Structure 1
Amino acid sequence: MITLNDTVLQYLLAAVVALPLLGAAAALLPAPPGLRGRSPEQAVLRHGVTVTGVVLAAALALAAGFDYDRAQDIQGGTDISWIPALGIRLHLGVDGISLPLLVLTALLTFLCALYSYRNPPKGPTPTAFVALLLVLEAGTLATFAVLDLVLFFLAFEMVLVPMYFLIARWGGEGRAKAAWKFILYTLLGSVVMLLGLLLVGLTAGTFDMVALASDNGAGIGRTTQIVAVLALGIGFAVKTPMWPLHTWLPDAHTAAPTVGSVLLAGVMLKMGTYGLVRIVLPAAPEGAAHFAPYLAAFAVVGILYGSLACLALVRRGGGGDLKRLIAYSSVGHMGFVLLGIATLTRTGVNGALFANVAHGLITGLLFFLVGALKERTGSTDLDALAAQAAGGRGAGLYGRAPRFGGLLAFGAVASLGLPGLAGFWGEMLALLGAYHPADGLSRPAYLVFMALGGLGTLLTAAYLLLVVRRVCMGERQPETAALPDVRGYEFAAWTPLVVLTVLAGLWPALLLGLTDPAVQNLLPGVSR
């Protein structure tokens, strides 16, 4: 591995954050005559692929030049005074916790742009679509790169407006209601989160996240920490989403266009759990320890609730929507992330970070596949899909589009946590962390949480296998029309997610070796 000096990493990180914004501004300008291709619409979609491709290349160069022997240190840092009167600085940097999320964001956005180039979204002009997509990418990347609390809040909020318009203008049935529900929930959560960020920064005398982590809560009293963690936890819980603050998610996913669902599940849900790990655990450890059992309890309720909701949706005659089912499955999967964080152990937090990345890869693939399935069949209603094929008992994708059906089955078994695929390790480490929680936490309570989480894995396997049964299996009748199998551009967009899901499952040390030193640095008093 080639290690670049810190100045080169600094320029690469700045480029990763700034290029999407510059690309969004350029997308609004008329295309030069020689670059228009067949139409201005094609030119702007190609522009989106180009910009996101350059950002991905810069993110991969950043990862290639990262010093993995110092994964716990902030690298590629930029620290410039911005508002001296308030002590706010333009502070950027990357370590073993944020680097995987930066690369994941750049990858998924590029794949979404590539997919949209050959399958343009149905709605208003592609110019606005590409500009919003790039603004969304810029805000998400900045969230994972900034190291100042005020900048973090601004980046955190930056993604809300483009996602609102992606749902409201390019979404499907019920998009207006879903978009308003999304924006209201997340904005209200953000207001509470801002109060917590200000309380932490003003009490500690700094908004610098590195300094706050180094102090480990020394400058903030216990009562203040508890109040701050409550406010921060509510804001992050809405974005995660944690039960019972999850109700905006199924509607948003069901109404959103395909690329909106991919980015919402693949990267935006990670912003809340990233905030818990990056800000709450190191800056307010006593407050985090106070609320950890409650967070674990809400997490396992979310695991069970999400699984039971999916079982209700997948049953015959239930009128369940496949896209909505995957949205509810995200509530359960993110519950494992929250459970890992709530253990306050290195094992659990590493499991949470691994599960974050795994969920982004697997659920991103599933939403791509469901969007393509709707394009082919005109519906994602499970009963309607089954009625189109063999006697109403199964959609029969194995017979009608075998490669497409195989990919959908792969995504389902990866999502249920099959050993050897990425979904397994994060959930297992979260449960292991609950088996031996941090000192001061009730081990009997966490053993109950672990048992309930284990039950959730069984329920998850049950509903996902039923999905495979109803969507992929079933005999194809002679009068049943075949479906287009995986197309070339779909193969290009989906293959990286399949390969990385297998790679992370077979070689988990590739990711855990990156996150563990950084987690040790954030949790200095934790031995396991």
Structure 2
Amino acid sequence: MNNFPFLSVLTVAPAVGALVVALLPRSNPRLAKIVALVWSLALLAITAVMCVVFKANGPRFQFRESYPWIPAWGIRLTVQADGIALVMLGLVAVLVPIVIAASWHDADKTKRSVNNYFALLLALDATMVGVFAAADVFLFYAFFEVMLIPMYFLIGSFGGARRQYAAVKFFLYSLFGGLFMLAAVIGLWVVGGHTLDWNTLSHISMSTSTGRWLFLGFFLAFAIKAPFFPFHTWLPDAGGAAPAGAAALLVGVLDKVGTYGILRFCFSLFPEATRFFAPLGLALAVVGIIYGSLLAVGQNDLKRLVAYTSIAHFGFIGIGIFAFTSQAGTGAVLYMLNHGLSTGALFLIVGMLVQRRGSANIRDFGGAAKLVPVLAGCFLVVGFSSLALPGTSPFVSEFLVLLGTFSVHKALAIVATSGVILAAGYILWMYQRTMQGNLNPELSTSSGFKHDLTGREKWVVAPLIALIFILGVYPKPVIDVISPAVAATMHDVGKSDPVPATRAVDNGSGGSSAVGDNK
């Protein structure tokens, strides 16, 4: 089974599925939906088998495949996966069929083709898998840029009132960062002796100044994609205008490409530059936590509010990455997974509310729990996970990030902890204004609020809530997969965990002995 080309299949099959769905008769949109859903469930099954086959204590990179592509430039179609990539691939496999089910009627009322909507979702699946599996730097760059196309059309063709503005802004921001990466990729090709294979480049040496300039090219592209402050302004517009399912993938998966890219490429290819610019990364991350949280508190648009919470969450991921400890690094990768589940679920539930009300304005709600108690309960549970309530999966990752950061940057960790308090404020206030209080009379006459969660919507929400609680109570299997890859990544950048401090104590015989403060 180890010889099965899992990564190639998971990259090519969604693209083939997208073509099949797009070519189905447009007179039967239901058929396109069913084919897309079944196709994505088959990909989920293949990914599940891959996760079972993966050996947590085996070689760092597994499922490696390499095929000739552009021999004159030393470029190959090379894919491989370690524990970090594996959890991201698992996240893609879980979210895509859920998003397809959640988006069942999203394209019905538009003038666009229903087939195209679901074909774009499968095409996006292919590019997301490709970007997390790529081991050739040029192949990574290609997927990094191509993934903009299906998301651009999902936002621009099927989004809300400001969809065209949001789509163009998203595309231009990402393309701008991609141009800097392209320049850095070309420089890396020259410095690396006309090869862009990650495994080869991770062992080459380059001058300090060259490494720092190339690092900045990659980092800028990743910071925009993540997004880190101050490169975040495209996210609220894109998240607010995109259909709920596309927004769930945008914030749940696509944004992780930025933080994943920092871990995979910046750490291993430019270790000295990564250490040099780490204070900058930490500063941007902490500012993002506070800034994103404060802006979320002031939002009246549900979808934009959720988008701003993600800016704060990515701040926690950022400090976990640049703290350079195994605890913080493991927490950051786990946070990438848990944030995708939690915020993806939050976007989908908000989408259900917006679809029922016909508006995302919080002022148009009020007392909705009286009409849709099950939906309100799911909203509350997912909201609690977003503020990292103990027992939910984001708590584990946030705790690891803060614990690992505190061991090396105490003041920074203390400031970042204020984001936990602000999260409670914006989540609970959002819930109170929409679900609690006096019932808005207009909701009683709204046809959408005459029915609670449908059977399809329950199938959408239930798996995500189940995973949030399972990983909140028992995250060990995922941590066991992540930890070896994080340790290897820390080794790439030349960092190790700090040695526990010691103190002298009286041993009762007039002498003293040194004992660790941390037992």
Residue from 456, 466, 469 that aligns with 1:502:
469
User: Residue 131 of structure 2 contacts residue 144 of structure 2 at CA under 8 Å; is this kept in 1?
Assistant: yes
**1:249 partner amino acid:** L
CA–CA separation in structure 1 for the residues paired with 2:427 and 2:474: 24
Deviation at 1:292, TM superposition (A): 0.4
Matching residue of 2:375: 404
**1:188 partner amino acid:** F
User: Residue 118 of structure 1 contacts residue 489 of structure 1 at CA under 8 Å; is this kept in 2?
Assistant: no
User: Residue 320 of structure 2 contacts residue 332 of structure 2 at CA under 8 Å; is this kept in 1?
Assistant: yes
Matching residue of 2:161: 173
Q: Measured at CA, do residues 125 and 200 of structure 1 come closer, stay the same or move farther in structure 2, by a change above 3 Å?
A: same
1:367 maps to 2:347: yes
1:440-451 map, 5 Å: 446-451=409-414
1:19 maps to 2:13: yes
Q: Measured at CA, do residues 121 and 275 of structure 1 come closer, stay the same or move farther in structure 2, by a change above 3 Å?
A: farther
Deviation at 1:176, TM superposition (A): 0.9
User: What SS does the aligned partner of 1:80 have?
Assistant: strand
Matching residue of 1:325: 305
CA–CA separation in structure 2 for the residues paired with 1:253 and 1:80: 37
**2:76 partner amino acid:** R
Q: Measured at CA, do residues 276 and 479 of structure 1 come closer, stay the same or move farther in structure 2, by a change above 3 Å?
A: closer
User: Residue 107 of structure 2 contacts residue 117 of structure 2 at CA under 8 Å; is this kept in 1?
Assistant: no
Percentage of matched positions with identical amino acids: 35
1:180-219 map, 5 Å: 180-205=168-193, 206-213=195-202, 215=203, 218-219=204-205
CA–CA separation in structure 2 for the residues paired with 1:479 and 1:515: 49
Deviation at 1:475, TM superposition (A): 4.5
Matching residue of 1:290: 276
The superposition leaves residues 210-254 of structure 1 with CA deviations (integer Å, 9 ceiling, x where unpaired) of 2333x2xx5122211111111111000000001110001100111
Matching residue of 1:105: 92
Matching residue of 1:526: 495
User: What SS does the aligned partner of 1:117 have?
Assistant: coil
Residue from 448, 465, 468 that aligns with 2:431:
468
CA–CA separation in structure 2 for the residues paired with 1:321 and 1:99: 34
Deviation at 1:478, TM superposition (A): 8.9
User: Residue 310 of structure 1 contacts residue 325 of structure 1 at CA under 8 Å; is this kept in 2?
Assistant: yes
The superposition leaves residues 99-124 of structure 1 with CA deviations (integer Å, 9 ceiling, x where unpaired) of 11101112111111122335545320
Deviation at 1:135, TM superposition (A): 1.1
**2:30 partner amino acid:** Q
Q: Measured at CA, do residues 384 and 512 of structure 1 come closer, stay the same or move farther in structure 2, by a change above 3 Å?
A: same
Q: Measured at CA, do residues 413 and 203 of structure 1 come closer, stay the same or move farther in structure 2, by a change above 3 Å?
A: same
Residue from 347, 364, 386 that aligns with 1:415:
386
1:93 maps to 2:87: no
Deviation at 1:45, TM superposition (A): 1.5
User: What SS does the aligned partner of 2:104 have?
Assistant: helix
Matching residue of 1:427: 398
User: Residue 128 of structure 2 contacts residue 254 of structure 2 at CA under 8 Å; is this kept in 1?
Assistant: yes
1:352-363 map, 5 Å: 352-363=332-343
- When the two chains are superposed, the root-mean-square deviation of aligned CA atoms in Å is 1.7
Residue from 250, 253, 271 that aligns with 2:257:
271
Matching residue of 1:141: 129
Q: Measured at CA, do residues 169 and 193 of structure 1 come closer, stay the same or move farther in structure 2, by a change above 3 Å?
A: same
CA–CA separation in structure 2 for the residues paired with 1:359 and 1:13: 24
**1:329 partner amino acid:** T
User: What SS does the aligned partner of 2:69 have?
Assistant: strand
Deviation at 1:189, TM superposition (A): 0.6
**1:363 partner amino acid:** T
Q: Measured at CA, do residues 455 and 479 of structure 1 come closer, stay the same or move farther in structure 2, by a change above 3 Å?
A: closer
Matching residue of 1:390: none
Matching residue of 1:443: none
**2:476 partner amino acid:** A
CA–CA separation in structure 1 for the residues paired with 2:472 and 2:66: 37
Residue from 231, 254, 260 that aligns with 1:245:
231
Deviation at 1:197, TM superposition (A): 2.6
Matching residue of 2:517: none
1:481-496 map, 5 Å: 481=444, 483-496=450-463
Residue from 328, 334, 342 that aligns with 1:348:
328
Residue from 57, 62, 65 that aligns with 2:45:
57
1:257 maps to 2:243: yes
User: Residue 376 of structure 1 contacts residue 483 of structure 1 at CA under 8 Å; is this kept in 2?
Assistant: no
Residue from 142, 148, 166 that aligns with 1:160:
148
CA–CA separation in structure 1 for the residues paired with 2:359 and 2:103: 19
Deviation at 1:199, TM superposition (A): 2.3
User: What SS does the aligned partner of 2:232 have?
Assistant: coil
User: What SS does the aligned partner of 1:68 have?
Assistant: coil
Q: Measured at CA, do residues 226 and 403 of structure 1 come closer, stay the same or move farther in structure 2, by a change above 3 Å?
A: same
User: Residue 24 of structure 2 contacts residue 115 of structure 2 at CA under 8 Å; is this kept in 1?
Assistant: no
**1:187 partner amino acid:** L
The superposition leaves residues 31-81 of structure 1 with CA deviations (integer Å, 9 ceiling, x where unpaired) of 5xxxx9xx52111111211221111111111112112221x5211111122
Matching residue of 2:419: 456
**2:78 partner amino acid:** H
The superposition leaves residues 469-504 of structure 1 with CA deviations (integer Å, 9 ceiling, x where unpaired) of 112222448996254211110111111111111111
Deviation at 1:327, TM superposition (A): 0.4
CA–CA separation in structure 2 for the residues paired with 1:120 and 1:174: 17
Unaligned runs of 5+ in 2: 498-519
Matching residue of 1:225: 211
Instruction: Give aligned pairs, total.
Output: 489
CA–CA separation in structure 1 for the residues paired with 2:199 and 2:343: 32
User: What SS does the aligned partner of 1:69 have?
Assistant: coil
The superposition leaves residues 11-32 of structure 1 with CA deviations (integer Å, 9 ceiling, x where unpaired) of 222111110111112123245x
Matching residue of 1:316: none
CA–CA separation in structure 2 for the residues paired with 1:360 and 1:429: 17
**1:493 partner amino acid:** V
Q: Measured at CA, do residues 120 and 293 of structure 1 come closer, stay the same or move farther in structure 2, by a change above 3 Å?
A: same
Unaligned runs of 5+ in 1: 314-319, 386-394, 438-445
Q: Measured at CA, do residues 450 and 56 of structure 1 come closer, stay the same or move farther in structure 2, by a change above 3 Å?
A: same
User: Residue 409 of structure 1 contacts residue 472 of structure 1 at CA under 8 Å; is this kept in 2?
Assistant: no
**1:17 partner amino acid:** T
Is 478-487 or 496-505 further displaced after alignment?
478-487
User: What SS does the aligned partner of 1:502 have?
Assistant: helix
CA–CA separation in structure 2 for the residues paired with 1:269 and 1:461: 23
CA–CA separation in structure 2 for the residues paired with 1:27 and 1:465: 41
Is 19-28 or 361-370 further displaced after alignment?
19-28
